[in-house]
Amino acid sequence: MNFKSEKQLKTYLNSLEFIGQGSQGICYLDKTNNTVIKIFHDFFEEGITSYKKEDILIFSNVKNKTFIWATDVIMINDIVVGYTMPYISSRNLWKINPLMLNLDTLLKGIKNATLDFNILSENNIVIYDIMYNILYNNGTFKIIDTLEYSYGDKVKDNMRGFNLEIMLFLVDNYFNDFVNKNSILKEMYLSDSVSCIEFIEALRYALSSYIGTKITRLNEAKKLIRRKEKPIYIRN
């Protein structure tokens, strides 16, 4: 997507819907083709960026259903000022109430996403900056802001950030007290060697045993909720 001048780009952006911003840039939605337009902060602040087209599109040929790659770059003359990606109508995990999710559906979604984590690892793609970039909708995970990913040999840690956020999402400021009083759960919680699938199954079993019936949603164990003065996981 090429523009002749900054003025032409800004005229185009003014016709779009602002949908948010992060550490890298500002995002807009082009409803005509359901595409997200992301413009780098560097461009707005300094008028130039250090990004290259080949770096932004480096993984666009790695097919998967979870990780959202850039589809095109946005340029003014020969300067890369941003990129495009598909719009995903899912919510950030940190904006979702964990108490209302169906655990069976959640587990199914995690298992499906794990297949795509394996695809990236098989392609020697190392995942960075995954926290707060996880979207979820009824059993389907999507992961955005993949620009910092790179080729490397640390793929064994690829699931770490995902596992960490899922555990924090389900427990922090809700079931910390319950987890800390259960030696097995306490050891598993936030462990580098435990998958979030293993943890969810163990947490569900422990909560169900305490309640006296198998739970489908965490709100069925709401009497065990204890709030924290200083939560770790930032929520909406």
Q: What is the pTM of this model?
A: 0.93
Structure tokens at 24: 């890298």
pLDDT at 187 > cutoff 80: yes
Residue 72 backbone dihedrals phi, psi, to 5 degrees:
-160, 160
Residues of the chain with pLDDT > 90, as a percent, come to: 91
- For residue 86, the Cα-to-chain-centroid distance in whole angstroms is 15
pLDDT given for residue 126 in this prediction = 97
pLDDT digits (tens, 9 = 90+) for 7-59: 999 999 999 999 988 888 999 999 999 999 999 998 888 877 888 999 999 99
Considering only CA atoms, give the Rg of the chain: 20
**pLDDT value, residue 22:** 81
Q: How confident is the model at residue 69 (pLDDT cuts 50, 70, 90)?
A: very high
The angle subtended at Cα 93 by Cα 228 and Cα 107, nearest 5°, is 100
Q: What are 103-133's pLDDT values in tens digits?
A: 999 999 999 999 999 999 999 999 998 999 9
